[in-house]
Structure 1
Amino acid sequence: MSDIVVIGGGIAGLSAAARLSEHFSVTVLEREQATGYHASGRSAAMFEQNYGLPSTVALNKASAQYHREANGGYLSPRGLMIIAAREDAEAFDDDVVTMGIERISKDRAVELVPILDPAKFTFAGYHEAGYDIDTDRLMQDFIRQIRRNGGAIVTKAEVTAITRQTDGWQVVAGGQTYDAAKLVNAAGAWADTVAQAAGIAPIGITPRRRSMARIPAPEDRDLRDWPMFFGVGESWYAKPDAGALLVSPADEDVVAPQDAWADDMVLAEGLARYEGMVRTPVTRLLASWAGLRSFAPDKALVLGPDPDEPDFIWCAGQGGYGFQTAPAASQLLADLVRGVTPALPHDLVAQLLPDRLRT
């Protein structure tokens, strides 16, 4: 019997399990054949402190030192740029304030991303403090921490039954039975499904599809020093990736929990918005895919014990910010499970607890 079973082997479940393994015996159950298969394996892998709701930004900032320093650090310079047409001046002004970016000239924008067409945009802003996250190494280091502390990670272990026992929980997954005193629900898009299987009221986790295309380097350019660049209001974005360019329509279409795939029409619309700001048309795709970003009704993360069943712990609603927030979110979750006072401010913690969704 483990002290804790964690359902879900993405970045949320692995980071939570790693922190908890310092104090408890932990078993992670992942339905797929490998950890990080769904949302975590399809992330844009960007760390930008000012990106997200105020509660998410606070978690980003609380995670920054870990990302920079733990195990040699996980960040490498990238930078972030936003561009906008004249008719989008008001939305651009909002992005400047929200993202804390510096206005730059059109010439400077083209210097940073040479394929931009200065006739097609009017405004540009840049933030140097945007970074790539080494997401694979971050997950692998959390896995090593779990195993170093005696924890177990079981793949191909889809949960088929959860039963409340007098002394905890019994979980049937992958044909095996696991007993634990506490259950952590880090199942991503399937978080409400897991809750209902455990007899816990769902909290309204909604999966939303995010599509991505990988295109050849425009004009055969070296993209290594280009920033990630966005359309105003995150209407699309593009990011260098191993000699190619990732382009996303930044879609958020509601879908059922699933192994997501890109919608061709949505992808085409996003690529058209990207083409509307550059000189070079997209002539072919190297690959396309989609992932699920799962949100609570208020789009803030959901971390901590269920108010009606304290031995059922939510670790859900990461909404695309899972890697950015993982160090602080996992530490908060471990503090709440242990019953110790979190280092994060009380008002911030209140914005993240599942209690707020039980009104």
Structure 2
Amino acid sequence: MNRPDIVIVGGGIAGASLGAVLAARARVLLLEMEASAGYHATGRAVSFWEETYGGLAVQPLTTASGPMLAAPDPEFSEASFLSPRRTLHVGRAGDAMARDRLMAEFGGKVVLRAVDPAVLVPGLRPDWTLGVLEPGVCDIDVAALHAAWLRQFRRHGGEVRLGTALRRAEARGGSWRVETDQGAIDCGLIVNAAGAWADDVAKTCGVAPIGITPLRRTVVQLRVPAMPSADLPLVMDLGSQFYFKPEGEARVWLTPHDEEPSVPCDAAPEELAVAQAIARFQAVVDWPVEAVERKWAGLRSFSRDRAPVYGFDPAVPGFFWFAGQGGFGIQTSPAAAILAAGMIGGGAFPKAVASIDAAVYSPSRFR
């Protein structure tokens, strides 16, 4: 496919989901610089569907995506991508303002209940007295979801080229000449779904960057034989210093909620962040840590206002931004893809996203 209508740069959850929607009505080529799609952020995510995660700008996308993840079209998947988890937001006495802000911001939009956190998490240390339960939270089968998007993309005629980086692109009178590792391609539209590399891709295409910043997030897998149950809720700090969730029997996935600015790269965990994660975990529960079984890091990419960026660049109409999805790109992928495809195609938005204000995500806000 050397003359596609659309070239998407990036094969993670962003590019795969939008590609799957667009390929139903256009010739779409997806370029992925790595040997496997989703190698960086998507393949390293500790993902869950949580309506409060990402803030008020993200919540409508998450809420709209929930039914599509829970009960997908049978052509897309025969099984749900979600399994019940719940989130317990916890805090000490000094976190009362953060608790009240959470309840006020999402009251009426998301089911939240004030609870005694010690009842839900045996072994919680006594100074953690504040609790807010978000009962609707679910784990997401990330690998299955990403694979389903790619499968749908190919089923609709889309082509994926792995190990193929965009080296240069030039706008030519309403179309593009794209230079890649595998030769030149002509297309009508470029979609920038390159995650941590989004600003670099823009510059390669002669488009001004908008300030997408990659932030490193560290995760460790701990063996904790004293953990009471694998069905405990995800425990998230009201002060944004950690969250952890069971990952099977006697194992926990834990992050210190770090956000260290990074250049786009194959991110690796730093020992200081690992040590901070364990120290914070041990300050919350009295479960002894038997071993650190795994540790890894990924890059979560944010715009300056931390809301995603969806839309045509105001200075370069044939260049579409689909980036800045932070740590919430997986849980919002169905609604975000449908919304962005509607922006590209024009006309009325489908019912699933009709109530979402697309203008909130426009790159014009940074120009």
TM-score using structure 1 length: 0.93
Instruction: State the alpha-carbon separation in 2 of the partners of residues 3 and 45 from structure 1.
Output: 32
Q: Secondary structure at the match of 2:318?
A: strand
Instruction: State the alpha-carbon separation in 2 of the partners of residues 211 and 25 from structure 1.
Output: 38
Structure 2 counterpart of 1:349, one-letter code:
A
Contact between 1:55 and 1:348, CA under 8 Å: does it hold in 2? no
Counterpart in the other structure of 1:38? 40
Instruction: State the alpha-carbon separation in 2 of the partners of residues 347 and 142 from structure 1.
Output: 22
Alignment partner of 1:160 is 2:160: no
Q: How does 1:328-339 map to 2 (within 5 A)?
A: 328-339=335-346
Alpha-carbon displacement from aligned partner over 1:112-166 (angstroms, at most 9, x marks no partner): x32323x231112212100011111111111111111111011111222222233
> How many Å apart are 1:177 and its aligned residue?
2.4
Instruction: State the alpha-carbon separation in 1 of the partners of residues 357 and 173 from structure 2.
Output: 33
Counterpart in the other structure of 1:108? 119
1:95 to 98, 102, 107: 102
> How many Å apart are 1:90 and its aligned residue?
2.2
Alignment partner of 1:260 is 2:267: yes
Structure with bigger helix share is 1
> How many Å apart are 1:167 and its aligned residue?
4.7
Counterpart in the other structure of 1:349? 358
Q: How does 1:264-283 map to 2 (within 5 A)?
A: 264-283=271-290
> How many Å apart are 1:35 and its aligned residue?
0.8
Contact between 2:88 and 2:117, CA under 8 Å: does it hold in 1? no
> How many Å apart are 1:231 and its aligned residue?
1.6
Structure 2 counterpart of 1:103, one-letter code:
A
Contact between 1:120 and 1:276, CA under 8 Å: does it hold in 2? no
> How many Å apart are 1:45 and its aligned residue?
1.3
Figure out how many residues of one structure are paired with residues of the other and give that number. Answer: 353
> How many Å apart are 1:94 and its aligned residue?
2.4
Instruction: State the alpha-carbon separation in 2 of the partners of residues 106 and 57 from structure 1.
Output: 24
Instruction: State the alpha-carbon separation in 2 of the partners of residues 37 and 98 from structure 1.
Output: 34
Counterpart in the other structure of 2:192? 185
1:288 to 285, 292, 295: 295
Structure 2 counterpart of 1:27, one-letter code:
L
Q: Secondary structure at the match of 1:33?
A: coil
Alpha-carbon displacement from aligned partner over 1:83-125 (angstroms, at most 9, x marks no partner): 212232222332344455211124422xxx32323x2311122
Q: Secondary structure at the match of 2:291?
A: coil
1:216 to 223, 234, 240: 223
Alpha-carbon displacement from aligned partner over 1:260-304 (angstroms, at most 9, x marks no partner): 111211221222112111112434210111111101111111111
Question: What are the ranges of 5 or more consecutive residues in structure 2 without an aligned counterpart?
Answer: none
Counterpart in the other structure of 2:143? 136
Contact between 2:227 and 2:287, CA under 8 Å: does it hold in 1? no
1:74 to 74, 81, 88: 81
Alignment partner of 1:18 is 2:24: no
Contact between 2:7 and 2:190, CA under 8 Å: does it hold in 1? yes
1:347–1:329 Cα change, 3 Å: closer
RMSD: 1.7
Q: Secondary structure at the match of 1:323?
A: coil
Instruction: State the alpha-carbon separation in 2 of the partners of residues 121 and 36 from structure 1.
Output: 37
> How many Å apart are 1:329 and its aligned residue?
0.7
Counterpart in the other structure of 1:236? 242
Alignment partner of 1:306 is 2:313: yes
Instruction: State the alpha-carbon separation in 2 of the partners of residues 233 and 21 from structure 1.
Output: 42
> How many Å apart are 1:8 and its aligned residue?
0.2
TM-score using structure 2 length: 0.91
1:181–1:218 Cα change, 3 Å: same
1:11–1:347 Cα change, 3 Å: closer
Counterpart in the other structure of 1:171? 178
Contact between 2:93 and 2:130, CA under 8 Å: does it hold in 1? yes
Say which is worse superposed, 65-74 or 97-106, in terms of deviation.
97-106
Alpha-carbon displacement from aligned partner over 1:16-53 (angstroms, at most 9, x marks no partner): 10010011011111111111111111111100122222
1:346–1:85 Cα change, 3 Å: closer
Q: Secondary structure at the match of 1:324?
A: coil
1:255–1:281 Cα change, 3 Å: same
Counterpart in the other structure of 1:48? 50
> How many Å apart are 1:176 and its aligned residue?
2.7
> How many Å apart are 1:69 and its aligned residue?
1.2
